Structure 1
Amino acid sequence: MRENVIIAIGRQFGSGGHEIGTKLADRLGIPFFDKKLVNMAAEQLEISNITAATLDEKALDYFLATYNATEEGLSDESELPLSEQMYLAQSNIILSLANKSSCVVVGRCADYILRENENCINVFVHAEDEDKTKRIAEIFQISDKKARDKIKKVDAERKYYYESHTGRAWGSIDSHQILFNSSLLAIEDIIDILATMYEMK
């Protein structure tokens, strides 16, 4: 019986990483997980999806909550700040999903959480600023300036979220097995490569 293969995709905002993940999962016929993990963690923690969404991959909230909790001291996991409980809940869910079936997971430090899994294909997708700006401006129907501001904010949050939980450099070749530049390589070509790697596993 074939072992489960998990494709963990890190991505810059506007690079097309989410699109790559959804299309890849659809082609391979395996589950796709992104923001769905937030809702699953929210259900586990018995909090609203709205509350969970405000904590998801948010750097400043995590930093402040963790700092305050560290200063006060914690006796058990239930006393951890909600942002940290969210991370732990999502981590446990990702580990559980990886044991159940092959899947594609976008973001959520999945590459780090599954670092000991030999069947985890770990990639990061980035792109040139001009291409990211164009993509975000089109998706959200906003000006280029607002798109650039949004990209800067979201990427700063993702970077801090990743690095504060993993101790690794977000988007670095030292942290990821493969880096894809979607400005130089078409999204469909990246999907082809990842699908081939999946089949080779």
Structure 2
Amino acid sequence: MSEYKIITISRQFGSGGHEIGEKLAERLGIPLYDNQLVTMAAEKLGYTEESVGRADESALNAFITSYGKSPISYASFINSASYMPSLDMKVYQKQTEIILSLAEKGPCVIVGRCADYILRDKYDCINVFICAEKADRIKRIAERYDLTEKKAWDRIRKTDRERKFYYETYTGLEWGSIYSHQALLNASLLGIDKIVDFLELVYRT
């Protein structure tokens, strides 16, 4: 077990998970890794950041459905002799390498990318799932991307489906379940700053 802690944050789209990670990292004086992981993976794979971004935490439905595989059976499928990795899988594998490398360097906050699963049993990790009420999520996304409430909700549902499928495909665990995460924190009930306070307390304990 390491002498330092890694904080991993899984989140519903529009719940404020990135903001929580940003504020927490700043308060603790440690690095935050979120979209930077896309840039790092693109550089190492030799692909454009745009193409890697499309594969990052995106749905793999079309690829897996073509083989008639469910997310839970995907792990056995990729070990088969006939398997040729898709861009999605290459991105996941490269981000896994990057996350492990970053964790070796010291304490940090990592948002998404199955980091809680990747770092399981290897580091002193605090892993949480951030959720929020529908109305608050719609308001946040509508304001951030200048969308109508309907378009904001459509985007939220699509992104959540993709994140859920991505997480469950690569981990075999249920996204957003208390059985998959150490704590589920509702940003609507607790507020972003109180969640940051709580996580700071846990980190420093």
State the TM-score, normalizing by the size of structure 2.
0.89
CA distances 1:144-170 after superposition (whole Å, capped 9, x unpaired): 111110100000000000001100000
Please state how far the C-alpha of 1:198 moved relative to its aligned partner: 1.0
> Which residue does 2:62 correspond to in 1?
64
Structure 1: gaps of 5 or more residues: none
Please state how far the C-alpha of 1:65 moved relative to its aligned partner: 3.2
Tell me, yes or no, if structure 1 residue 159 matches structure 2 residue 164: yes
Tell me, yes or no, if structure 1 residue 188 matches structure 2 residue 180: no
> Which residue does 2:73 correspond to in 1?
none
Mapping for residues 12-91 of structure 1, pairs under 5 Å: 12-59=12-59, 62-66=60-64, 74=81, 79-91=84-96
2:111 alignment partner AA: V
> Which residue does 1:124 correspond to in 2?
129
State the TM-score, normalizing by the size of structure 1.
0.91
Please state how far the C-alpha of 1:66 moved relative to its aligned partner: 4.7
Once the two structures are overlaid, the 10-residue window that deviates more, 153-162 or 110-119, is: 110-119
Tell me, yes or no, if structure 1 residue 168 matches structure 2 residue 173: yes
1:93 alignment partner AA: I
Please state how far the C-alpha of 1:116 moved relative to its aligned partner: 1.0
CA distance in 2, matches of 1:174, 1:102: 24
Contact kept, 8 Å, 2:6 with 2:123, in 1: the verdict is no
> Which residue does 1:102 correspond to in 2?
107
Please state how far the C-alpha of 1:81 moved relative to its aligned partner: 1.0
CA distance in 2, matches of 1:160, 1:129: 20
Please state how far the C-alpha of 1:3 moved relative to its aligned partner: 1.8
CA distance in 2, matches of 1:9, 1:124: 6
Contact kept, 8 Å, 1:37 with 1:93, in 2: the verdict is yes
> What secondary structure, in the 3-state scheme, does the structure 2 residue paired with 1:151 have?
helix
CA distance in 2, matches of 1:14, 1:137: 9
Please state how far the C-alpha of 1:100 moved relative to its aligned partner: 0.6
CA distances 1:53-103 after superposition (whole Å, capped 9, x unpaired): 1111111xx2333565869x6568xx4111101001001110111111100
Tell me, yes or no, if structure 1 residue 136 matches structure 2 residue 161: no
The number of residues matched between the two structures is 194
Two-structure CA RMSD over aligned residues (Å):
1.8
Please state how far the C-alpha of 1:118 moved relative to its aligned partner: 4.3
CA distance in 1, matches of 2:162, 2:82: 28
> What secondary structure, in the 3-state scheme, does the structure 1 residue paired with 2:8 have?
strand
